[in-house]
Structure 1
């Protein structure tokens, strides 16, 4: 699995949606930021990010996280990332509640 494939799918979906004017990804200090032109209220844009993220991740075991950073005259800036969930892959013998033995 390549995260770049998920990113390119997400950006193309977001930019092709009827509401979006332009969404651009910039990587600064290893963190990915979305610069989105203002076209609607912030909650609506956050919802669009969530919807397009879910559609881009549906064939992969990934999670996404979006954090609002700032607002300028023409852009909203969000820190957005896709990541692989960290889950236990073996039983450690401590009878944990989320033990892999209890999965069905």
Structure 2
């Protein structure tokens, strides 16, 4: 699975929204920051980010995390990342409630 294609699909859908003027991602110290320029309120913008990240992750074993970082005028900055969830791959024999045997 290539995260670059997920990011590309996510940004393409996000930029296609009529109230979002521009959206881009930049990595700073290895952390991806999402820069979104729009006239939407913070709640509406976060709804669109969640919606399109879910659409980009559909059918893949991924999760996303979006944390508001800062805003100035029409530019909002979020720390946004797609990641593979950490799950147990084998049974350790400790009778864990989330054991892979129960899936």
TM-score range, shorter chain: over 0.9
User: How many residue pairs were aligned?
Assistant: 103
1:20, CA displacement in angstroms?
1.2
| 1:37-79 Cα distance to aligned partner (Å, 9 max, x none) | 1311001000000000000000211000000000112311000
Separation in structure 2 between the aligned mates of residue 92 and residue 44 of structure 1, nearest angstrom: 44
TM-score by length of 1: 0.95
TM-score norm. by structure 2 comes to 0.96
Kindly report structure 1 stretches of 4+ aligned residues shifted beyond 3 Å: none
CA RMSD, 1 decimal? 0.8
> Which residue in the other structure is 2:70 paired with?
70
Flag structure 1 segments of 5+ consecutive residues without an equivalent.
Answer: none
- Which structure is higher in strand share? 2
- Structure 2: give runs of 5+ residues left out of the alignment: none
